[in-house]
Amino acid sequence: MTEQTLTNRTTSPFRFDVVGSFLRPAALKAARKQYAAGNIAAADLKQVEDQSIIELIKKEEAAGLQSITDGEFRRSWWHLDFFWGLNGVEKTALDQGYIFNDEETRAETARLSGKITGTNHPFVDHFKFLRAHLADPKTAKQTIPAPAQFIAELYRPENIEATNKYYSSEADLIADIAKAYQQVALDLYDAGLRVLQLDDCTWGMLAGFHAGAKDGTNKIDQAEIDKNKELYVNVNNAFIEGLPEDLIVNTHDCRGNYHSTWASAGGYESVAEPLFTREKVHAFFLEYDNDRSGGFEPLAQIQDDQLVVLGLITSKSGELEDKQTVIDRIHEAAKYVPLDRLCLSTQCGFASTEEGNILTEDQQWAKIQLVKDVAEEVWGA
C-alpha cells in the first residue's frame, strides 16, 4: 500500500492518539493529600477534580486530540479504583507493594468480599461529567483495566483465599466478571460512550516471565504461562462478546508504568498467540518505545481487520525522540502490518498512578505535539 492510497481515520484509533492518563496538576495533588489527611471533605476534593478535568479537556482539545479522556484524574491507580467500584470487591492494604524495576509501589490491592456485580459503578458518573464538558461529545474515551487484569489481581497469592471462598469454579468467576464488566460498559454506553479502552498488563507480564525463563530467574513454568494465556484471552473475550456492535473496544498492552519505572521486559512474540490471533478487540495500543518491547515481527500475526497503534514515543521521560527515527520505525513496522492499519501514540499514559511519571507538564504536551507532527508527515492526518 502506498501513501497515496492511505485513508483518513474518522473513528478510534486515530493516526495521532494517546493512551489516556495525564500528569495530575499541583492543585489536584494537594487536594488529594488534604483529603487523605481528613482536612477537606469529599465534596471539596470533587470540586478540585472537576475544575482540573475541565482545564485538561481544554488542553486536549487545543492539542487536536480526537479521543479525549478525563486524564484519570479521579483515580489513584489506573486499575484498582475500577476494581474497588465493583460490588463484592474491597480495598485492602498489603504488607509490601509490587516491585517495579528498582522501585516499590504503594501496597494496596482489590480483594473479594462477596459475589461480583457491576451495578452503580462510579465511573459512569465520571464519564457523564467528561462528556458533558466536551466540545464534541463523540470524542469521549473511557479507559478501564481489562477483565484479565482483574482476574490476575484476584489470583494474587494474597487474594486467592478470598477468591476461592466466593468462587469454587473458575468458570463461574469468569462468567461473573464478564457480566459485571458488561453491566458497567452498557451503563457507559447508555450514557453515550462509543470508545472503550481496556488497559492490560497481563500479557506484558507473561512475556516477561517467558523471557526470564532463559536465564533461570523465571518463577512460573511454561505450563502455567500457557494456562494463563488461555485464562486471559477467554475472560477478555467473554466480556467483549456481549457488547453492542457500535461500541469500539481497543486495548492497551503494557509492561507496567509506575513513576517512570517498569515491571516487565520481553517482546510480544511469546504472547502473540493468542493475544494477536484470538482477542476480539478493534485495535491494539502497543508499547514500542525501547528494546524491552522487542521487535515488530509478532505484528504479522494480528488479524487483518484489526489496527495497531504504535507506542513509539515514551511517556516515561521528557526527552523528545528524534522525529525521523520515529518515522523510520513506523515504516519498519509497516513491513508486518500495512501502513493504513497503523497509528501512532505515546507508549503509555503519563500518570498511570497519581504519582505520575518523571517529566513536566510542558514536556508531556511536547510529546503529544511530536506524535501529531509525525502522524501528519506519515499519514497526512
In this structure, the number of other CB atoms found within 10 A of the CB of residue 291 comes to 8
Query: Tens digits of per-residue pLDDT, 2-54?
Result: 444 688 899 999 999 999 999 999 999 999 999 999 999 999 999 999 999 99
- Whole-number pLDDT of residue 217: 47
27-to-3, 33, 82, 268 alpha-carbon distances in Å: 45, 10, 23, 39
Is residue 143 situated within a structural domain?
yes
Cell, residue 210? 517467558
Is residue 248 situated within a structural domain?
yes
The pLDDT of residue 216 is above 50: no
Q: What is the mean pLDDT of the chain?
A: 93
Is residue 52 situated within a structural domain?
no
Is residue 51 situated within a structural domain?
no
3-state helix, strand, coil in the chain (%, to 5): 45, 15, 40
Provide the CATH number for the domain around residue 361.
3.20.20.210
The pLDDT of residue 112 is above 60: yes
Query: Tens digits of per-residue pLDDT, 233-275?
Result: 999 999 999 899 999 999 999 987 776 676 777 899 999 999 9
Q: Is the dihedral of CA 145, 293, 285, 232 positive or negative?
A: negative
What single DSSP character describes residue 77? B
Q: How far apart are CA 175 and CA 179, in angstroms?
A: 6
The total domain count for the chain is 1
Domain range for 306 is 3-26+59-379
Is residue 138 situated within a structural domain?
yes
Cell, residue 321? 525522540
Is residue 49 situated within a structural domain?
no
Can you spell out the DSSP letters for 173-217?
HHHHHHHHHHHHHHHHHHTT--EEEEEE-HHHHHHHHHHHGGGT-
Which pTM was predicted? Answer: 0.94
- Whole-number pLDDT of residue 258: 74
- Assess contact for 150 and 137: CB atoms under 8 A: no
Is residue 38 situated within a structural domain?
no
- Assess contact for 197 and 166: CB atoms under 8 A: no
Is residue 279 situated within a structural domain?
yes
- Whole-number pLDDT of residue 334: 98
Classify residue 171 as exposed, middle or buried by CB count within 10 Å of its CB (0-12, 13-18, 19+).
exposed
Q: How far apart are CA 254 and CA 146, in angstroms?
A: 12
pLDDT average, residue stretch 134-161: 97
The pLDDT of residue 107 is above 90: no
Non-local CB neighbours of 216 within 8 Å, separated by 6+ positions: none
- Whole-number pLDDT of residue 211: 60
